[in-house]
Amino acid sequence: MDLDYTEEDLAFRDQVRAFLAEHLPADLQHKVRSHLRLSRDDIVRWHKILYKQGWVAPGWPREYGGPGWTPVQRHIFEEECAAAGTPPVMPFGVNMVAPVIMAFGSQAQKDYYLPRILSCEDWWCQGYSEPGSGSDLASLKTSAVRDGDHYIVNGQKTWTTLAQHADMIFCLVRTDPNVRKQEGISFLLIDMRSPGVTVRPIIMLDEDHEVNEVFFDNVRVPVANLVGQENKGWTYAKYLLGHERTGIAAVGRSKRELAFLKRLAAREQKNGRPLIEDPLFAAKLAALEIELMALEMTVLRVLAKADRAPGPEASVLKVRGTDIQQMLTELMVEAAGPMALPFDPDYLEGEAAQSLAGDDEAAPLASYYFNYRKTSIYGGSNEIQRNIISQMILGL
């Protein structure tokens, strides 16, 4: 594998850098680099800037409105966006349900939903996990019973990220309770404004409203909103999770955070010298950087095979990517020490110009650390991913 960029790749990188320098709003860049919370408006604003440029869906082919970039160009774009400190493009529409609709949806679904995902006219959320069906997702109980031209949906989803903002939810539902559990699941697109849909917030340890419970009480969903075939939803769900897990690796973001960690460690003192010069801390930092470099090479190897859907290698990226993200937050808190402890929600929300404790870099780090405990659980827990790796890659 040739890891050197071509002249065309370097020219593309310069084009991306010039665009970001001109169009990335300074207030959004500040929030991202300072680990402050982003609002719905912040995320939508950046989405629409990218949409106007035609760059909001790097992985989409031109026929559906994407830029038609090569895998290397997509990698460069994601690296440069992370380095610049852009807000994320919400993955639920662009990177998760859209590939499923492209691969398995009807022409009517493609014509209607894909343009609305591109323009952010629809904000999507993911209806997978349930109170008794997390890692064992195939045991889900939310039911969809056929009634003429509609399904009647009843049940509950949980840990639904940003469902309070969502217009649409893609859901796994049980349409046949009398077969093996993986074989009785279907994939439905549900309007969140439908009668019978209730969103209840789950407020996290840091008082942030990021996740929710979603309840379905006799919700009528048109049969036209079924993706693909009835009872084939498990196949589509696995296809979607491959795309989700590949994105979770987030190498570019981790490289930006590693640079932040190094600056923080150079600023902090231990025994009258910069912490970054302490042998024990420097060893931890070096080990982390080596792991991140290895992950980046693995991502590039996966991208080199991007002519097919992500396979079990996506589980490798998910496990190592989330391990590294958690190690980064752990070392940030270790470097900041007691200054990471004060809880300052006004500063985190951007309502105060400075943190109460006076250390603006350290103020968000405890919240950041606790939030990133989730990464080894969402998208399929890392224990489940290791089972997939052992069975499908190692043949154990």
- Active-site residue set: 244
Q: List, in sequence order, every residue forming a beta bridge with 202; answer none if it has no partner.
A: 211
Among the listed residues 138, 66, 135, the one whose alpha carbon sits nearest the alpha carbon of residue 98 = 66
Q: Is 147 helix (H, G, I), strand (E, B) or coil?
A: strand
- Which residue bears the tokens 């994105």? 247
At 171 the three-state DSSP class reads strand
Question: CB–CB of 326/288 below 8 Å?
Answer: no
Asked if 16 and 77 count as a contact pair (C-beta separation under 8 A), the reply is: yes
Which ranges in the chain belong to alpha helices (H)? Answer: 7-23, 26-33, 40-53, 71-84, 91, 98-104, 107-119, 233-248, 251-267, 279-303, 313-336, 345-348, 365-371, 382-388
Q: How far apart are CA 95 and CA 324, in angstroms?
A: 22
